Each structure stands twice: as structure tokens, then as C-alpha cells.
Chain A
Amino acid sequence: MRLLTHNMLQCHVKSCNDPALNFPLQFQEVELEQIEAEENEALLLNLVGKIDWPALVQTTSELGITGLPPTKPDVVKNDPALMKRLHEILLETNVAQGKMVCRGCGHSYPIKDGIPNMLLAEHEI
């Protein structure tokens, strides 16, 4: 699972609806892996508009990943160093093992062999 996917996921337990807490999920005991990805400028620029920047900054800092400005820059396109770093973080940083824990309800979503398990029990839907 790439970090870009993590930025799109949230805790979706029905009773867990405080947006300040159900996103972003907190990584725990993770094993990271860098996997080379094709360059795609159009995708990166689209992602910058789509992702939640504060959540990405929080998550990367919890993982010990550096190189992102704390607030989203107005123009990213003219900053090749930042574009390169975003490519490495969003598209090339993969979570192979670990779990994602909700800061609201404590639900733990396991990640095994790169596949997050986002299934809920019937009573949580």
C-alpha cells in the first residue's frame, strides 16, 4: 500500500464520525519499502490538489519521513526538488506490514503483504 492510498482512507465504523479523529489513521509497527514508480507529473499535480496536506505531514512525521513543508505551497510545479520528494513519498513509499489504528474508536486495520484489511464486523457498518 502506497502512502497516497493511506491519505484516501479513513475509519468508517458507523459510530466513529468525528472527522477530527477518524482521519488520518495512525500507522503502528509498520515495515516500509521503497518501490520505484513511473514518473507522472500530471498525477502528482492532481494528487497535490486531492490529498489532505496536514494529514500527509502528520503521517510522514510520525513515520520519520522528512522533506515536506508544513503547509501546502501555492505552486508545486516550479519546485523540482519538492516534486521529486512528493513522488518518493506518495508513489514510491509502500507499507508492506503493520496496522492502521483509528484515533477515534481504536479500531485496528491490519496490513499484510501490502494489502490493508478494511473490513468491518456487521455491527460496525
Chain B
Amino acid sequence: MVNKPQPRVLAEPLTDAAKNESEFVHDVYNQIAPHFSNTRYKAWPVVESFLNDREAGSVGADVGCGNGKYMGVNRKLMVLGSDRSIGLLEITQGRGFEATLADNLALPYRSDRVDFVISIAVIHHFSTPERRLQAIRELVRILRPGGQALVFVWALEQKGKRKFDQDHQDFMVPWVVPRNTASVSGVQTEAEVPPPEEAENDRVFHRYYHLFREHELETLITESDLNSAVEIADNGYDRDNWYVVLTKRIPE
């Protein structure tokens, strides 16, 4: 592929976190939803085995479920999907899964309820350390004591197709919708939305990402109030991502 647009360093920090995440995360996913969804069908092995290891009949939450690609991995579970993008949720709902429009910073679920939580490629879209931590706090809040959360975030050190300047962590990452793809959804957003017909040229959308350094995810948790609420059961690197498995402590 020639002239594949590369991630670019964010020259200046985002000034209004909520507004910028809305423009560079939520609106973009709404616009690229069908094309993005068509490229998202392969389950990552660590996520797949986490789901297959759950006890039959467990109830979980997939926060930032996207098109629901993990929701049917283990048919013995009940997974409640939520996402900030209505465009992706319509696809999830259409596949017969539970889909709720919700904000990871203030989840609508009751506390101490679900047996497990997965957060796959979500937390890196929040643009400040406090917002990333708040998103994880909410995942822990809804977990029952003894329940586990699996969190995956993009690694700065990744060795895949994309190269990231190792001196920076905040990037705008392009998403290219090839020309002649009738894939841009008609979801209304504040940004200019191209009509949902076939386009003559490639369209490039930019998503905001905070790329995590090794151990940054664990440190974010252990150096916060969450340290007394969870135990880190596992952590590692898989498919360009750092991941961690948290176990919610059982009160003594």
C-alpha cells in the first residue's frame, strides 16, 4: 500500500478533554462504523481464553464493545455490551446482543454485580490520566467482589504496521475508508458527515490515542485509590497491546 498515512504526534495537548474526545473518538467511530466493523472479526487469543475460562452462566460487561465481536465468543455466558458509539451499537444489537449506549466515565450499571468485565482497546481513547483512571474505576465498581476485569490498551512499543515516535504518547491515528466503499454511516454528528453513498476518493479520519508505555497501566492503578480495591492477577503484551487482569478484592 502506498502513502499509507502514519500516526502523527499531537503537537499540543488537547485543551478540552470531553469536547476533543467527542470529536476525535465518538464522532469518528460513528462515521467509520460499518467499515471499521467489517475489519473487526478476529478475536485476540488472550481475550478469547479469558472469556473461555469464565464459569458457565457468568454475567459480564463488555465496556466499549464496538461491534460486539467478543460477545458471542463463549455462548455459555451473558455479556452486556455498552459503547459510546451508536453506529457500532446498532451493529451489535442487530447481531442479537445486549447493547447499551453509555459513557465509560459514568456507567449506568449497579455496583458489585457482574462476574467479569472486559475493556478491549478503550482506555487509550481517554485523553488525561485522571479520565483513564476514572474509566477503570467504573469497571471495578460494577464488578462483584472476586470478579475479574481484563483491560487491553495500545502499546507505544508496538512492532506492527504502525510506527510511533517513542518520545511521545499522544497521537492522532488515521483510519482510511477506501474509495468506492459505501461504508460511511449516516449517523448525525456535529462534524460534517459525508453522505452514505460511494465516495470517489479515500477518506481519512483521525482518532485520538494515548499510547501506553510498558507498566504504565499497572502503575496508573497501583498508585491510585484502586490499589486497595483490586489485585493485579496477570499482565502482559499481546498483539500490539499491554494488558492487565484485575481481581476485585473481597472485603474482610
Contact = CB atoms under 8 A, between A and B. Distances in A.
Interface of A: 1-2, 4-5, 8-10, 12, 14, 23, 35, 38, 40-47, 50, 91, 109, 113-120, 122, 125
Interface of B: 18, 55-59, 75-78, 80, 82, 84, 86, 89-90, 93, 96, 98-103, 105-110, 113-115
A46 B54 CA distance: 13
Contact of A46 (B59, B90, B110): B59
B80 to A, nearest CB: 6
A115 B89 contact: yes
Nearest to B78: A43
Contact of A116 (B101, B105, B110): B101
Q: Is the interface of B mostly helix, strand, loop or mixed?
A: mixed
A85 B99 CA distance: 23
Given A115-B99, A118-B108, A125-B106, A38 B75 contact: yes
Given A8-B113, A12-B108, A125 B103 contact: yes
Contact of B106 (A5, A8, A120): A120
Contacts of A113: 90, 93
Contact of B100 (A23, A40, A118, A122): A118
Contact of B110 (A2, A23, A38, A122): A23
A2 B76 CA distance: 17
Given A12-B106, A91-B78, A125-B106, 10 more contacts: A5-B100, A9-B109, A38-B75, A40-B57, A43-B58, A109-B108, A113-B90, A116-B100, A118-B82, A119-B101
Given A46-B57, A115-B89, A120-B103, A5 B98 contact: yes
Contacts of B96: 35
B189 to A, nearest CB: 14
A4 B93 contact: no
Contacts of B105: 125
Contacts of A116: 100-101, 108
B80 A5 contact: yes
